[in-house]
C-alpha cells in the first residue's frame, strides 16, 4: 500500500511538472509529447520515468546534455511523499481522492507562484467549485462548512489586502477560498494561521541571512499552500491542542 501511494504520487507529480511548465505559457497540457526544452528532442518513455530517469540520466538530456531542472524530481518526490502521508492520515477511503486532488493543486500552485509570482485562476476557481461539490459526499466536511470555508478562507486575505495593500494579492484570496472549500472553515483558519507562521519564519531567515533583501518579493502562495497541507494532514490535532490549551 505504501508503494502504491508513492507510485501514484510520483506519476501524478510527473504530470504536475507538465502543468507547472505549460500552464503559465498557455500551452496545451495534453496534445504534445514532452520534449527537451533545450534541443527539442522528444523524451522517450524510458527516459520519462518519475525520479528514476533523473537519477540514471544524472540530471542531463540524453541527446544534448543540457541539464534538467531540479524541479522535476523535486515535484515528483514531494507529490509522492504527500500522497503517502495523506493515505496514512486518511486511510484508503473515498475521501482520500479529494485530499489527493487538493494536494496536487497545492503543489502546482506553489511552484508556479515561486517561478512566476502568479497563482493561476485556472486552478483556484475550478478548485473552489470542486471542493464545494465534494463536500456533498464528504463525511467530514458539510456543504455549509465548505461554504463558510470559502467565505472565511477568501475573506481573511481580502481584509489583509484592504488594510495593507501589497502584502497579499487576489491570487492568495482565491487560494484561501479554495482551501476553505476543501477543508471547511475551521481547518481554513488553521491553514491561514500556519501559512502566516511558516511565511514569517522563512521570510525572517531569508532577510537575516541576506539571501533576500527587504524589497525582494517573497510570494505568499507557497506558504498558504503549505499551511493547507498542515491543516489537511494535522489540522484536527491542531484544533484539539488549541482548545485544550486555551479552554483548560
Instruction: Please report, as residue ranges, which positions from 8 to 37 form the binding site for Zn ion (by CB under 5 A).
Output: 36
> Strand, helix or coil at 60?
strand
Set of cell numbers at residue 138:
464528504
For position 42 contacting Zn ion by CB under 5 A, the verdict is no
Q: What are the strands, taking DSSP E only, across the chain?
A: none
Set of cell numbers at residue 208:
537575516
User: What is the closest distance, in whole angstroms, from the C-beta atom of residue 87 to Zn ion in the complex?
Assistant: 36
Please check whether residue 86 is in contact with residue 103, taking contact to mean a CB–CB distance below 8 angstroms: yes
User: What is the closest distance, in whole angstroms, from the C-beta atom of residue 66 to Zn ion in the complex?
Assistant: 5
User: What is the closest distance, in whole angstroms, from the C-beta atom of residue 32 to Zn ion in the complex?
Assistant: 16
CA 181 to chain centre: 15
For Zn ion, which stretch binds (CB under 5 A), given 63-71, 107-115, 128-136, 152-160?
A: 63-71
In angstroms, rounded to a whole number, what is the distance separating the alpha carbons of residues 55 and 183?
36
For Zn ion, which stretch binds (CB under 5 A), given 39-47, 125-133, 144-152, 230-238?
A: 39-47
Set of cell numbers at residue 182:
476543501
Please check whether residue 167 is in contact with residue 216, taking contact to mean a CB–CB distance below 8 angstroms: no
Return the residue of 63, 74, 115, 196 that touches Zn ion, per CB under 5 A: 63
User: What is the closest distance, in whole angstroms, from the C-beta atom of residue 34 to Zn ion in the complex?
Assistant: 11
Radius of gyration, CA atoms only, the chain: 19
Residue number, 57 or 130, with CB nearest to Zn ion: 57
In angstroms, rounded to a whole number, what is the distance separating the alpha carbons of residues 198 and 178?
19
Return the residue of 5, 6, 61, 224 that touches Zn ion, per CB under 5 A: 61
Instruction: Please report, as residue ranges, which positions from 66 to 95 form the binding site for Zn ion (by CB under 5 A).
Output: 66
Return the residue of 4, 29, 55, 64 that touches Zn ion, per CB under 5 A: 64
Return the residue of 4, 39, 55, 129 that touches Zn ion, per CB under 5 A: 39
> Strand, helix or coil at 158?
helix
User: What is the closest distance, in whole angstroms, from the C-beta atom of residue 115 to Zn ion in the complex?
Assistant: 20
In angstroms, rounded to a whole number, what is the distance separating the alpha carbons of residues 56 and 59?
8
User: What is the closest distance, in whole angstroms, from the C-beta atom of residue 134 to Zn ion in the complex?
Assistant: 40
In angstroms, rounded to a whole number, what is the distance separating the alpha carbons of residues 136 and 3?
31
Residues that bind Zn ion (CB under 5 A): 36, 38-39, 61, 63-64, 66
Amino acid at each position: 500500500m505504501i508503494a502504491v501511494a508513492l507510485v501514484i504520487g510520483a506519476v501524478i507529480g510527473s504530470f504536475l511538472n507538465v502543468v507547472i511548465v505549460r500552464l503559465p505559457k498557455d500551452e496545451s497540457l495534453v496534445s504534445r509529447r514532452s520534449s527537451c526544452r533545450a534541443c527539442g528532442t522528444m523524451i522517450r518513455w524510458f527516459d520519462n520515468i518519475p525520479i528514476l530517469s533523473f537519477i540514471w540520466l544524472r540530471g542531463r538530456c540524453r541527446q544534448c546534455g543540457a541539464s534538467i531542472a531540479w524541479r522535476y524530481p523535486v515535484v515528483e518526490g514531494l507529490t509522492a511523499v504527500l500522497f503517502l502521508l495523506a493515505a496514512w492520515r486518511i486511510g484508503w477511503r473515498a475521501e482520500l481522492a479529494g485530499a489527493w486532488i487538493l494536494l496536487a493543486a497545492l503543489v502546482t500552485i506553489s511552484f508556479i507562484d515561486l517561478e512566476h509570482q502568479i497563482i493561476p485562476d485556472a486552478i483556484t476557481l475550478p478548485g473552489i467549485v470542486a471542493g464545494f461539490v465534494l463536500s456533498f459526499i464528504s463525511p467530514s466536511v458539510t456543504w455549509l462548512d465548505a461554504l463558510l470555508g470559502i467565505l472565511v478562507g477568501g475573506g481573511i486575505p481580502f481584509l489583509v489586502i484592504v488594510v495593507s495593500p501589497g502584502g497579499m494579492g487576489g491570487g492568495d484570496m482565491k487560494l484561501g477560498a479554495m482551501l476553505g472549500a476543501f477543508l471547511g472553515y475551521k481547518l481554513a483558519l488553521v491553514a491561514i494561521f500556519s501559512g502566516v507562521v511558516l511565511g514569517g519564519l522563512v521570510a525572517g531567515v531569508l532577510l537575516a541571512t541576506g539571501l533576500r533583501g527587504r524589497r525582494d518579493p517573497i510570494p505568499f502562495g507557497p506558504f498558504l499552500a503549505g499551511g493547507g497541507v498542515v491543516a489537511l494532514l494535522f489540522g484536527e490535532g491542531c484544533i484539539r491542542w488549541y482548545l485544550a490549551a486555551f479552554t483548560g
